[in-house]
């Protein structure tokens, strides 16, 4: 892990979203080795059932072939780490906004994280990935699509299981297609 072996052939991907959306899990799923992580034990009960939370960033490298490396970063989801957003988003070719399908504030989080990305990485490709939809009785993408249309080009939305490597990689591939 560490610095890319050839910085000229490296592209930066960022996973962004609120706490417990699955950013760290998705990063672990798509990388071959254990990512560099700044996870610490949850001390203030931020979210039920979550034992750790990211306080600075997650980082890993994925070899794409032909010498190209994908530098993968995960933003912390807590608002008091918002100062990290412009730092990590700077230079990103693409951003996957991850959201938890069980979250009662799903639409507001979608709106606010799209705004964060738009303000801090205006030239980056963006898609939205929704996790945990298998745990929701009746999940619909319609209201999310309305939010994702809000005043700009539509943003693709995908549901996936962040724990499953192939599903997480499919979302990354979709982002790469959107960026080209």
Domain membership of residue 137 (yes or no) is yes
In eight-state DSSP terms, residue 93 is: S
Domain membership of residue 134 (yes or no) is yes
Between residues 1 and 9, the one the model is more confident about: 9
Q: Domain of residue 125: give its range.
A: 7-179
Which of 6-15, 130-139, 144-153 is modeled with the greatest confidence?
130-139
Contacts of 6 (CB under 8 A, 6+ apart): 67, 69
106: domain CATH number?
3.40.50.300
Range in 24-28, 40-44, 87-91, 140-144 with the lowest mean pLDDT: 40-44
- Count of domains in the chain? 1
Domain membership of residue 1 (yes or no) is no
3-class DSSP assignment, residue 99:
strand
Domain membership of residue 2 (yes or no) is no
Q: Which is it for strands 36-41 and 52-65: parallel, antiparallel or unpaired?
A: antiparallel
Mean pLDDT of 43-70: 70
- Helix segments in 64-141, DSSP class H: 84-89, 106-120
């Amino acid at each position: 892990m560490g610095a890319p072996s050839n910085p000229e052939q490296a592209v930066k991907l960022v996973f962004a979203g609120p706490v417990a959306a699955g950013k760290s899990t998705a990063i672990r799923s798509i990388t071959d080795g254990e990512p560099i992580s700044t996870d610490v034990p949850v001390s203030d009960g931020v979210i039920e059932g979550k034992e750790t939370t990211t306080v600075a960033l997650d980082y890993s490298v994925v070899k794409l072939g032909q010498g190209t490396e994908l530098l993968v970063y995960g933003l912390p989801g807590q608002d008091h780490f918002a100062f990290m957003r412009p730092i990590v988003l700077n230079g990103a070719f693409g951003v996957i906004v991850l959201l938890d399908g069980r979250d009662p504030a799903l639409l507001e989080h979608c709106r606010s994280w799209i705004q964060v990305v738009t303000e801090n990485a205006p030239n980056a490709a963006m898609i939205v990935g929704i996790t945990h939809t298998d745990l929701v009785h009746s999940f619909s993408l319609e209201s999310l699509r309305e939010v994702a249309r809000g005043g700009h080009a539509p943003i693709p939305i995908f549901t996936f299981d962040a724990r499953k490597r192939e599903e997480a990689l499919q979302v990354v591939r979709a982002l790469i297609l959107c960026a080209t």
